Each structure stands twice: as structure tokens, then as C-alpha cells.
Chain A
Amino acid sequence: MELNDIIKAQLMDAHDLERTLNRMARQIVEMFDLDESKAASFALIGMQTRGVYLAARIRKIISEVDRVDVPMGILDATMYRDDFRMRLKQPVVRETRIDFDIDDRDIVLVDDVLFTGRTTRAGLDALTDLGRPASVHFLVLIDRGLRELPIKADFVGRKVPTLPGEEVRVRLHEMDDKEGVWLVGRSPSPTN
């Protein structure tokens, strides 16, 4: 968790997370009728940073269960954000690495939390500059509501109604010291 977080509830533990990812992997395989022949017209793209690890896990599940290796890319949408004038420090630009042509592919964009929809909008713009996919679908682990743009997810791990002051923390063992999803409140000042 971060410095001023006050934990309100644990939404998922490691086991829930694994089960949810397995279910979403099944939904993807079913929707795109994935087999070896389809792997060339399909791709998973993980959004920096935790979306990358989620996409990698889904890719691994599809590879183990269905024996299909689907291509996977990494997308960073920082350069396409619209909150530029509102911040004091610029967010770090991370790597975008997509080693295949995205033209005419069915893409599943993967992110951890869907909130206002602004990051997703930035991601879609970033993808558009890289090529013209046949379709783009969107997968999120947690949909916390409170949208500010007309964006929806096609694959949702769990819908959690939240309040504006709350945050959803997804923690993955690849980059964090624990695994799971928590709903937290923010304490008003760092001294509290």
C-alpha cells in the first residue's frame, strides 16, 4: 500500500485473482475461437505497468491450457495523457514494445483498474498511432465505476462500486511485496 492508505476492504486475495484471470482467459479463447491458426491475427497488449503483468499471466494460461502461444505487446500511454496542465511533475515515460504489426489483428488491451476511462482513451490513441487493428477489446481486473468518458470494458474481473475519495490498489507479486486487491481510503494529511 502507499503511505497514507487506510485499508477499507480486501477485494481479492491471491487465489481469487488466479481464478478470475483463468475465467477471463477462458472468455478470450471462446470469443476469438483461439487456436494455432488464429494466433497470427490476435494479440494481447498490456498497459504499463500492472496491465503488463496481467497480460503476461493471461498469455501463460492460454499457452498452458490451450497450447496456443499468442503474441503480447507492452503499451505506455503517458505521452497521450490529457492531464498535462494539472500536474506539477511529469509522470515517467515507460517503454512501449510491440514487436509485431498490429494492423488487422484483434487486440485485447489489458489494464488493472478501469476508473474515469481517461487512461483507456490515451491507450486507444496510442494504439491508433501504431496501426489499424481489426478490433480492440478491453479487459480490466477491476471496474470501479465513476466514468468520465463513454468507455466500457469487454472483459471485467470484478465490478466494484466506489466513492470518488477511494482508491483501488492492485498488487502483483511480479513488482509488489504482496498479491491481491484492496479498497483503500486516503487520509487527508501525511501526518495523520
Chain B
Amino acid sequence: MEPTENQIQTGLDHRHLLGLSDYSSREISLILETARRFRDVLDRPIKRVPTLRGITVVNLFFESSTRTRISFELAEKRLSADTVNFSASGSSVSKGESLKDTAQNIEAMKIDMVVIRHQSPGAPNFLTQCVDAVVINAGDGAHEHPTQALLDMLTISDRFGKLEGLNVSIIGDILHSRVARSNIHGLLAMGANVTICGPKPLLPVHLDRMASSKGDLRITHKLNEALEGCDVAMALRIQMERQGQSLFPSIREYHDQFGIRMEHLHAHKDLIVMHPGPVNRGVELASDVVDHERALILNQVTNGVAVRMAVLYLLSGQIASE
């Protein structure tokens, strides 16, 4: 699918990537197509292009992250941007500096783009109000994690050649999941049908608020119903560290009721399994499911770098526009 002339002339309508809730299907398609071109670069002997030379990107990680941070750093380096890393531990934040002060200090150092991960929903949006730089949300509390959803959609559309009309089930702790929220917005906008499935206390109450656009959204508490006629099962990570709050009886019971096991892969011959990582083997997915050829978890990781290169590239055009 070649981008249309229309896409060429208009680029992205947004100056920042805070979430997918207000991104159009045209913008999402443009990001996915651009990501495919950047993925070709990653297969070359020289995996670096000079596209963002002279652009400075700061990675502001207020919350611990391994793969998202590494993925963004790699994407920035592959594009020849200058990067600065900042993590909350061992920084001025632990000395009590506010987000606004941190941001303005960074701005004073002439930064063009900020990638931010923060435990509070809305922190990236707040940042856009106090700095001129282009802001990319790398996960804000339980709000959104747009680049994760974009890499998930790239992985799905690679496999099926489309997103429209596909049935995608998102299984697990939907309520606390920014990955689920971004995927629901993005997939529905692209015309996929989304089913969310999980224990009752982990499903959001106000679902209709998010139901928009082309695809249908439905809800179930039974894994079998979620997998019936389903093309892609996206398992979410159970936050073991949150288990003090006991939102479901036990890990074992969760696996029995919502864990995807080999029997499910046998029963649904075309079912594709995805997971944003890191996987708790034997909880969300049985260990042999993780290693199965229909689990696309490592494709997701590769696509993560390509999607972030595409987002950095497309938004870098907005630096000058103020």
C-alpha cells in the first residue's frame, strides 16, 4: 500500500504524540507506512541514516522502563539525533524538583524533542504547556502508551495485510493498562473490532465513552468467548508488583481462567498471540505459547524501533512550526 498524494501533502495533523485517541486513521496509516520504510534500514549493513542530524532529543523517564527506553534510544541513534537520557532515580527529581522545573531546565538547554514516561496520566500533556519542544508520550500512568499500540498495529497489519475487519481481543488488566487504552483507540479508528476480556474488577466501567469510529467494541469475562472468531489475542502483563491490592484471588487462578495455553492454540488454528512484554511465563501466557511460532512477541520488539523512528521523523517536521 503506497501512501496517497493526499498523505504526502499533509503529513501529521498533530504537533505532539500524546495518545491515539485523537489521531485519525489517515495519520496512523502514514506512521505505519513510514515505519515499514525505516524497518528496511534496520536490515542494512549500515543501520543508520543522517535524517535527524542536529536534532536533540531528551528521554525523560520518571518511571523505570527497559525496553521502551532502549527502543527509543536506538531509534534516535539510528536517525543520527543527539540524545540525552534522564531517569528519575539519582537525579534532581529525587531531590524534590517539580516536573515543570525539570522541563524548563531541560528546555533552557535547547532541546528539540522530549520523550517522556511518567507515572501520572496527563504528564506529557502538561509538559506541552510548559515547553516549546515536540513531546512524545512513552507511557503516562494508566492513560496511554501510543508507540506501543502503533507497533502492535504494525505487527498485526504485517501478518494480515490489513487492520480493517479484524477481530482483536485484549485480555487482562484493562483498567490499569495504558497499552490497552491506546490499542483500543487505534484499532477502532482503523476499523478493527476489539473485544476486551478480564476479571470484572480489572475492566473499566465507562466503556461506551471510548467506543468511537469504525470498529465495534465488546466486553466479556470469559476467555473462550474472547477467543471465538478472534484473529489476534493480545495478552496484557499482570503487574505482579501491584498484587498487594489483590484484585483477583491468585496468580494460579488467573492463569486457569485467563491465561492462554497450548489447548487454545490447538482449538483456534489461525489465532495469533501477542504480548507487550515483559511476559510472566505461566501467568498471562503458558511458557510453550510464548515460544510458539504463532506468538509474535519478538516481531513486536523489532517493529518498536521502526515505529519510533517513524514517529520521531514525522513529528520532527513540526519543530519549526510554532
Tell me the A residues contacting B by CB distance below 8 Å. 76, 78-81, 84-96, 125, 129-131
Tell me the B residues contacting A by CB distance below 8 Å. 2-3, 7-12, 30, 33-34, 37-38, 40-41, 44-46, 48-55, 313-314, 316-321
Per the bound structure, the CA–CA distance linking A17 and B53 in Å amounts to 39
B37 engages A76 (CB within 8 Å)? yes
Other-chain contact of B50, A90, A93, A95, A125 (Cβ < 8 Å): A125
What are the residues of chain A within 8 A of B38 when measuring CB–CB?
93
Min CB–CB distance A53 → chain B (angstroms): 13
Per the bound structure, the CA–CA distance linking A181 and B243 in Å amounts to 69
What are the residues of chain B within 8 A of A95 when measuring CB–CB?
37, 40
What are the residues of chain A within 8 A of B52 when measuring CB–CB?
84
Q: Given A85-B320, A89-B11, check contact A80 B49 (CB 8 Å).
A: yes
Min CB–CB distance B15 → chain A (angstroms): 11
A79 engages B41 (CB within 8 Å)? yes
Per the bound structure, the CA–CA distance linking A87 and B313 in Å amounts to 12
In the complex formed, the residue of A with least CB distance to B36 is A95
A92 engages B8 (CB within 8 Å)? yes
Per the bound structure, the CA–CA distance linking A125 and B46 in Å amounts to 12
Per the bound structure, the CA–CA distance linking A86 and B54 in Å amounts to 13
Per the bound structure, the CA–CA distance linking A59 and B38 in Å amounts to 28
A129 engages B49 (CB within 8 Å)? yes
B37 engages A94 (CB within 8 Å)? yes
| Given A76-B37, A89-B12, A90-B317, 7 further pairs, Cβ under 8 A | A79-B51, A80-B51, A84-B316, A96-B37, A129-B44, A130-B44, A130-B46
A80 engages B44 (CB within 8 Å)? no
B34 engages A92 (CB within 8 Å)? yes
Min CB–CB distance B152 → chain A (angstroms): 21
What are the residues of chain B within 8 A of A81 when measuring CB–CB?
51
Per the bound structure, the CA–CA distance linking A129 and B51 in Å amounts to 13
- 26 pairs, A vs B, C-beta closer than 8 Å: A76-B37, A79-B51, A79-B313, A81-B51, A84-B53, A84-B55, A84-B316, A85-B54, A85-B319, A85-B320, A86-B320, A88-B318, A88-B321, A89-B11, A89-B317, A90-B317, A92-B3, A92-B8, A92-B30, A93-B34, A93-B37, A93-B38, A95-B37, A96-B37, A96-B40, A129-B46
Min CB–CB distance A89 → chain B (angstroms): 3
Q: Given A79-B51, A80-B49, A129-B49, check contact A88 B317 (CB 8 Å).
A: yes
Per the bound structure, the CA–CA distance linking A131 and B44 in Å amounts to 10
What are the residues of chain B within 8 A of A84 when measuring CB–CB?
51-55, 316
What are the residues of chain A within 8 A of B30 when measuring CB–CB?
92
What are the residues of chain B within 8 A of A89 when measuring CB–CB?
9-12, 317
Min CB–CB distance B317 → chain A (angstroms): 4
Q: Given A89-B11, A90-B316, A130-B44, check contact A79 B321 (CB 8 Å).
A: no
Min CB–CB distance A7 → chain B (angstroms): 20
Other-chain contact of B7, A76, A92, A131 (Cβ < 8 Å): A92
Other-chain contact of A79, B10, B49, B55, B319 (Cβ < 8 Å): B49
8 closest A-B pairs (Cβ-Cβ)? A89-B11, A90-B317, A79-B49, A93-B37, A79-B51, A129-B46, A92-B8, A92-B3
Min CB–CB distance A77 → chain B (angstroms): 10
Min CB–CB distance A177 → chain B (angstroms): 12
In the complex formed, the residue of A with least CB distance to B4 is A92
In the complex formed, the residue of A with least CB distance to B319 is A85
In the complex formed, the residue of B with least CB distance to A85 is B320
Per the bound structure, the CA–CA distance linking A151 and B7 in Å amounts to 31
What are the residues of chain A within 8 A of B11 when measuring CB–CB?
89-90
A90 engages B313 (CB within 8 Å)? yes
What are the residues of chain B within 8 A of A80 when measuring CB–CB?
49-51
